[in-house]
Structure 1
Amino acid sequence: MTDNRIPTLGDKHSGISERLLEDAKAARSRLYSNRTLPESRPRQQEVPVLPPDVDRATFNQAIGDLKRLLGDENIEVNDKPLVDGWYMEHPNTHDAFHILEQEELVSCGTAYPASTEEVQTIVKWANRYLIPVYPISMGRNVGYGGAAPRLRGSLLIDLGKRMNKVLKIDGHNASCLVEPGVSYFALYEAVQKSGHPLWIDTPDLGGGSVIGNALDRGVGYTPYGDHFACHCGMEVVLPNGEVLRTGMGSLPGANGEDNPCWQAFQHSYGPSIDGLFTQSNFGIVTKMGVWLMPATGHQSFMVTFPREDDFEQIIEIIRPLALNRVIGNVPQIRSVVQELAITGKPRTAFYDTKGPIPRDVIRQHASKMPFGDVAWFFYGTVYGDDETCQRSIKLIKDSFVKIPGAQLKLPQDLPPGHYLHDRAKVCSGTPVLRDLDWLNWVPNAAHLFFSPIVPTKGRDARLVHELVTGLHNKWGFDSFPTWCVLGRELHYIANIVYDRADPDAKRRAIGLMREMIAKAADEGYGEYRTHLIFQDQVAATYGWNNQALNTFVECIKDALDPNSIMAPGRNGIWGRRYKNRGFEMWPSSEKAAKRIPAKI
């Protein structure tokens, strides 16, 4: 490490809260103790990597022009060594968790705008020179591609560095207005400082962008856990450089002010268009309203289950509890392997042999933990006054005792370092760092997420779980399933943890992802988000009626962005300039050559 000081929010928009600084130091120490890769390696290719169809003379002219428009200090050419860093000191040049070669998905450089007007300037510049741009909020989309552009050589627009203000917190209306560089850490601190009795909703890790996570339809764990459902109003720069506001923001307020209902009501008059700017490349969101949750009483809990085969019954019991709002948040089901990994110990502490850890070895180590020899963990939270919480906990306990050996525990029943204490913070709106610890599972750890949507039904859950587990065994990976329960459906999050210094591990991880995507889709289960290199494959699985959805989306893309300059390829949306030119990534070169998108 060249600098031993971890940035805090006082130093940098992407820094850690002061209250978590010691946790961050400990997490970094654990991660670096298990690393064999050098901090950086010499680059093998000519730098900077250029976008398609742009020669070096044109690129140099274009960059010179952009520097004159935004200032030399706000444009950075990507010609330096690539440094993977770690979560709190991540690169905005490539994917820190590179599943391909480190230099494969890289940018040509980065622009740092300070305002919506400067974003407009960049977009108009991109159209003039036909240089593709790739906007990022903070670059922490770990497991899904990080800060890497989908189209190699694109110019990153880093919105976070200079557009990181909490513009407004409305304590009466329980809402806020933020820019893309506001992390969950930063929003939490701003709300605390405001003195209003409000909660934010945070994902497992709090360093990501509030806007970025909502636009990728990420989730958190309070009753406000559906982040896009809790957004309210956007300001968007379109691919032609024009600006629009969605929802009530499209109606001007009195005397040039913002409309007073902009963060109060999600829609306007006519079509509701906000969803077009999620998981798309139709515009750059520079401001967004977010609803905050009024603070309330709460009680977190954990239920453990002794047998692998309990799984289907667990799901059947959870469904009515979730639908009837007895469980008030977005709870999680985790496997015992995840619980071993969250201790921060490397895999070798439990099993120093290749291949997935056998069940009897898992049981042996689990029996020494505070939770004992169990197979599944259910983490949930109930909300309300003490009487309401106690009544809900009793109902939950009475429901789960139908499963022999099930045990419900509260935080006070477990030692201070147990993971339940961190879940309790997350489920009451307090960001933490604890979920970094399972990355220590292998050296140079990186991960991919496989994230299909599954109905909250035991049969469906069992089918997907067995499919995923069987393929993990086939490709030689430990299965790390986490289920996020959103009432009627489950987000199945399979964590593929691999050593990014091991080419064979990368090959197997890609093979595992490709096969899981294909086989799950064959059964009718599709991913809700995915890593950059699988986006074409996943988009194509949504192929009902001869790819009607994707055809519609491409029509919108071509109408809004005729030069295909905005994030080409993101989520499988290319635009006519790049489509079918070999930039797509299919499961094999044979299928790429045949342009077969539908049945993969």
Structure 2
Amino acid sequence: MGQVLPPGVARAAWSSALDALRGELGADAVLDADDALAAYLDPFAPGDARRFCASAAVLPANVGEIRTVLAWAHRTQVPLWSVSTGRNFAYGGAAPRVSGSVVLDLRRMNRVLDVDDTLGYALVEPGVTYFDLHEALRARGSALWVDPPAAGWGSVVGNTLERGFGTTPYGDHAAAQCGMEIILANGDIVRTGMGAMSRTTSWQVFKSGFGPSYDTLFMQSNFGIVTKMGLWLMPRPDGYRLGHFRFRHDDDLAAIVDTLRPLKLDDTIQSHVAIDHAVRWGAGIAPRRRWYDGPGPMPDTAIDAMVRALGIGRWNLRFGLYGPEDLVEARLRTIRRAFATLADAELDATDYAHATSEPEGGGDRSQVGIPNMSAFQMLNWRGGQGAHLDFSPVCPTTGHDARAQYTMVRSAAHAAGFDYYGGFTVAGRHMHHIFAAIFDKDDAAQARAAHDLVEALIRQTGDAGYGQYRAHLAFMDLAASQYDFNDHALMRLNDTIKRALDPQGVLSPGKQGILPARFRS
């Protein structure tokens, strides 16, 4: 594909720089061949994937080698783009925000360093996936569960740093994090919280430590490289029941959210709660041509036929209840009473099962701590080479806000020729509203339409006061610009911290819109 050079680096100097890096780390740790670098392109790029491409990739095996790479980056002025495993699909994958950066791929650092069954935590390196951690817990006979995101092949550290989420009571991954080890741009190694004590006994049990706390400073930022992270794990309960409410009408959404909110705030429902539109549920089962094979968005008549065929609702609410059977049943009775006020609401609840029982469906397995890949079934929805671009605004947990966001997104999606594939994951006072523009990546017109749709939605929802929690590489600057209080004071603070910690701007320039001056052209 023709090698892309780092910004401001001549070809001869680049060749010499790579030779020097190979000499320090070994040839197998430095990749620059076209076939190797293809893996670092955005697999779901909404347009030309080479808009964001790496000049090389380097795979350190330990902290010492990361420090070697940092020293090299400062000598050569080559920017690095750090990834844990690079599976941040729908948001750019492993591709760098500044084209020509070297991807610092941490997948070789893949050790589960500690598991404490008594206090319920693990300490992991960036290359550990949810599958890896789940298998490590099983191998030791641990009574702890992981909380997997939609795709279990992703990095535990990477997903947590992006503030990802799952569906069990530990579904807020950032909130379940406790203690980090970080390498700063100058090579200094810092441990946060109680880890700042060399003889600590409490690194993974008390977040704050003594004095200022910095863990969240390194989430969705380019201020350092996280090399170790602690996380709290869910103790395996006595058992569980999984519930699925079906709601027949599109306009039930506001009432669903307003009925659900007090049940989440008082912890009657312990888990994160998914509210899936019929299209999102259906796309997990079969391609849409089974019900509709025409142009434009799926008409209501076809959606109604799909709903009847699958025995689902226009909206579908999924939740989990955990603990001793009598408590689970008491919670379920309270939930039934609350939703009895909604006309035509129907509840399916699995029988109470012992916690070692494993459900068969992918979504159900996630609710009991078992990673899976069933979410990728959605890629077959439109046919062709399936891809998707995600739009991820935060929504207050009120019916008014849910209806406003749904109406805006659905209308814009339909106008652009896309189905509303989306829904809400309810954490408590806020919800993550995730909409995916699903397209055939071999169809240039569909890819461009997906790009333009998400760009327009970021602007439209921003004008309405809704900000993104996460954004694709192509929209990081735009998403950051919506946070405009006091003439973008937050970004000025980010820039100040960036200059202090990374004056040469070698660490992940452009991450979340934090772009050092030398790359802005």
TM-score class normalised by the smaller sequence: over 0.9
Alpha-carbon displacement from aligned partner over 1:244-280 (angstroms, at most 9, x marks no partner)? 1111111111xxxxx2211111112111111110001
Task: Give yes or no for contact 1:446–1:500 (8 Å, CA) kept in 2.
Answer: yes
User: Match of 1:103, SS?
Assistant: helix
- Whole-angstrom distance in 2 between the partners of 1:424 and 1:565: 42
Q: What pairs up with 1:322-471 in 2 under 5 angstroms?
A: 322-343=264-285, 345-371=286-312, 374-411=313-350, 421-442=361-382, 443-471=384-412
Partner residue, 1:56:
11
Alpha-carbon displacement from aligned partner over 1:387-406 (angstroms, at most 9, x marks no partner)? 11111111111111211110
- Whole-angstrom distance in 2 between the partners of 1:81 and 1:502: 25
Task: Give yes or no for contact 2:37–2:57 (8 Å, CA) kept in 1.
Answer: no
Partner residue, 1:137:
84
Deviation at 1:365, TM superposition (A): 2.3
Alignment counterpart, residue 516 of structure 1, candidates 454, 457, 469: 457
Deviation at 1:82, TM superposition (A): 6.4
Deviation at 1:104, TM superposition (A): 2.1
- Whole-angstrom distance in 2 between the partners of 1:100 and 1:356: 21
Amino acid at match of 1:459: H
- Whole-angstrom distance in 2 between the partners of 1:406 and 1:190: 41
RMSD in angstroms over aligned alpha carbons? 1.4
User: Match of 1:309, SS?
Assistant: helix
- Whole-angstrom distance in 2 between the partners of 1:533 and 1:467: 21
User: Match of 2:414, SS?
Assistant: helix
Alignment counterpart, residue 251 of structure 2, candidates 297, 309, 322: 309
Deviation at 1:81, TM superposition (A): 7.5
- Whole-angstrom distance in 1 between the partners of 2:287 and 2:37: 26
Task: Give yes or no for contact 1:78–1:110 (8 Å, CA) kept in 2.
Answer: no
Partner residue, 2:191:
245
Task: Give yes or no for contact 1:332–1:485 (8 Å, CA) kept in 2.
Answer: yes
Matched, 1:527 2:468: yes
Task: Give yes or no for contact 2:437–2:450 (8 Å, CA) kept in 1.
Answer: yes
Deviation at 1:560, TM superposition (A): 1.0
- Whole-angstrom distance in 2 between the partners of 1:260 and 1:269: 14
Structure 1 length normalisation: TM-score?
A: 0.84
Amino acid at match of 2:116: D
Partner residue, 2:262:
320
User: Match of 1:367, SS?
Assistant: helix
Deviation at 1:437, TM superposition (A): 0.7
Q: For structure 1, which runs of at least 5 residues remain unmatched after alignment?
A: 1-42, 84-90, 254-258, 414-418, 582-600
Task: Give yes or no for contact 1:78–1:108 (8 Å, CA) kept in 2.
Answer: no
Task: Give yes or no for contact 1:449–1:495 (8 Å, CA) kept in 2.
Answer: yes
Alpha-carbon displacement from aligned partner over 1:546-590 (angstroms, at most 9, x marks no partner)? 0000000011111111111111111100112223x1xxxxxxxxx
Deviation at 1:420, TM superposition (A): 8.4
CA spacing shift, 1:547–1:420, aligned 2, 3 Å = farther
Higher relative CO (Cα under 8 Å, sequence separation at least 6) belongs to 2
Alpha-carbon displacement from aligned partner over 1:327-364 (angstroms, at most 9, x marks no partner)? 11111000111122111x22222211111011111101
CA spacing shift, 1:437–1:150, aligned 2, 3 Å = same
Task: Give yes or no for contact 2:477–2:512 (8 Å, CA) kept in 1.
Answer: yes
Task: Give yes or no for contact 1:202–1:429 (8 Å, CA) kept in 2.
Answer: yes
Task: Give yes or no for contact 1:379–1:423 (8 Å, CA) kept in 2.
Answer: no
Deviation at 1:78, TM superposition (A): 3.9
Partner residue, 1:574:
515
Task: Give yes or no for contact 1:248–1:268 (8 Å, CA) kept in 2.
Answer: yes
Deviation at 1:99, TM superposition (A): 1.4
User: Match of 1:252, SS?
Assistant: coil
Partner residue, 2:42:
95
Partner residue, 1:229:
175
User: Match of 2:81, SS?
Assistant: strand
Alignment counterpart, residue 107 of structure 1, candidates 54, 57, 81: 54
Partner residue, 1:504:
445
- Whole-angstrom distance in 1 between the partners of 2:184 and 2:155: 20
Task: Give yes or no for contact 1:356–1:478 (8 Å, CA) kept in 2.
Answer: yes
Amino acid at match of 1:348: R
User: Match of 1:368, SS?
Assistant: helix
- Whole-angstrom distance in 2 between the partners of 1:53 and 1:466: 46
Q: For structure 2, which runs of at least 5 residues remain unmatched after alignment?
A: 353-358
Structure 2 length normalisation: TM-score?
A: 0.96
Q: What pairs up with 1:477-496 in 2 under 5 angstroms?
A: 477-496=418-437
Task: Give yes or no for contact 1:521–1:541 (8 Å, CA) kept in 2.
Answer: yes
Deviation at 1:79, TM superposition (A): 2.5
Deviation at 1:464, TM superposition (A): 0.7
What is the aligned-residue identity percentage? 39
Amino acid at match of 1:401: A
User: Match of 1:248, SS?
Assistant: helix
Alignment counterpart, residue 206 of structure 1, candidates 130, 147, 152: 152
User: Match of 1:190, SS?
Assistant: helix
Alpha-carbon displacement from aligned partner over 1:172-207 (angstroms, at most 9, x marks no partner)? 111111000100000001011111211111111110
CA spacing shift, 1:429–1:81, aligned 2, 3 Å = closer
Matched, 1:116 2:63: yes
Alignment counterpart, residue 172 of structure 1, candidates 115, 118, 124: 118
